[in-house]
A = this chain, B = another copy of it.
Amino acid sequence: MSAPQIPVILSSSPSSAATIGRDLMRRTLRMMILSRTLESKLASLYKAGKIVGGVYLGTGQEAFSGSLGCLLDQDRDIFAPLIRDQAGRTAFGEELIDATRTHLGSAQGPMRGRDGNIHRGRPSERRPAMISHLGSAVSVVAGMLIARRMQGSLTGVVGATCVGDGATSTGAFHEGLNLAAVEKLPLVILVADNQFAYSTPRERQFACNSLLDRAAGYGVGGIEIDATSLVSCLTGIQTAVNAARSGNGPQMVVGRLLRLCGHGEHDDGSYVAPELKNSLLGRDCVENGKVELIELGYATAAEIESWQEEASEQVQEAVAIAQKENGPDPYCEDWRAVSTPGMQ
């Protein structure tokens, strides 16, 4: 076996935009705008004390996460999101109401009040519900793929999951990715290197230059991209998704960007140096994405404005519905942790 090639795409060019195409770019930007709009709303609801539990946003990571969601096939692929993947979730087909219901404590959310917010998922729709322990979804996605291989339905399927720079320090990440590499599974793993894990800067988290340096050690393909650019995200992730889909084993995509919000909405992120915010890493991918589309002639400012308005309406509606709904009724809970009667 020869070592996988590791290309690095840190800038994007109109030519790569051409390979992506107008429709995909338009759809991704719309998803990014929708996600940003939803999350801004959740942030204000949090400030107003209306949210049950914590609020963790993906501000600044919409291009990275949303591109993945748009590049996956909603009908057969697997997507295991983490805490900053609202854009990916939405792009992969999650309805807004799932998000508003969990955050507002409606019993009608996918987790029925039993688990919350970013932990929501619908495993039967190939969207696992994350547990908090970082890194632990990597092996789960590997298992979902292995099941398909045994069932003869793996062909053309990709399983994708996301982690942050900090999560790469977990044993779970390491064991999971190594296992997937040994099994040569069609796994795509996005590493959002957003400069911080909570307040901890990269240099207290790892000592390599780029987390992409880890790909070779797992024997997996890899690519590093400027995740503040939509074109670069779509191009890079498409390469990885295609490589995985066509049987080249796991692919790692390291996205360089900056978290443009606190760790959670309880955190003001004051530890992020202004120079970093003002650097290229701090570029807002949504605003930049708009410029990218306009410059490519793929959308007009007016169109984008209308997407924004549409998004606001959709979000309003999803919030309004969830707000009217009741929370779970503890007296109707059956308090059963196993499915088989008598087994508790």
Q: Are A213 and B209 in contact (CB under 8 A)?
A: no
Selected contact of A213 from candidates B3, B205, B207, CB within 8 Å: B3
CB distance from A179 to the nearest CB of B (A): 8
- The residue on B at minimum CB distance from A214 is B217
| Count class of interface residues, chain A | 20 to 34
What is the oligomeric copy number?
2
Q: Mark A185-212, 1 if CB is under 8 A from B, else 0.
A: 0000000000000000001111111010
Q: Do A213 and B204 contact each other (CB < 8 Å), given the known contacts A169-B175, A170-B171, A175-B171?
A: no
Cα(A20)–Cα(B169), bound, Å: 37
Query: Residues 211-249 of chain A: 1 if any B CB is under 8 Å from the residue's CB, otherwise 0?
Result: 101111111100000000000000000000000000001
Bound-state Cα–Cα, A204 to B205, Å? 29
CB-CB < 8 A to A209: which residues of B? 1-3, 219
Q: Is A17 an interface residue (CB 8 A)?
A: no
Contacts of A249 in B (CB 8 A): 207
- A172 contacts across to B, CB distance below 8 A: 171
The listed residue with most B CB atoms (<10 A of its CB), out of A203, A206, A217, is A217
Shortest beta-carbon distance, A322 to chain B, in Å? 38
Q: Smallest CB–CB gap between A45 and chain B, Å?
A: 37
Cα of A220 to Cα of B206 in the assembled complex, Å = 10
Q: Could you tell me the distance between the alpha carbons of A149 and B294 in the complex, rounded to whole angstroms? A: 56
Q: Which residues of B contact A207 (CB under 8 A)?
A: 1, 178, 181-182, 184, 218-220, 249
Is A208 touching B171 in the complex (CB atoms < 8 A)?
no
Q: Is A76 in the interface zone, CB < 8 Å from B?
A: no
Closest beta carbon of chain B to A171's beta carbon, Å: 2
The complex places the Cα of A174 from the Cα of B169 at a distance, in Å, of 8
Whether the pair B217, A217 counts as a contact (CB closer than 8 A) is yes
Q: Which residues of B contact A173 (CB under 8 A)?
A: 174
Report how far A171 CA is from B206 CA in the complex, Å: 15
- Chain B residues with CB below 8 A from A211, complex form: 217
* Chain B residues, Cβ within 8 Å of A219: 206-209, 213
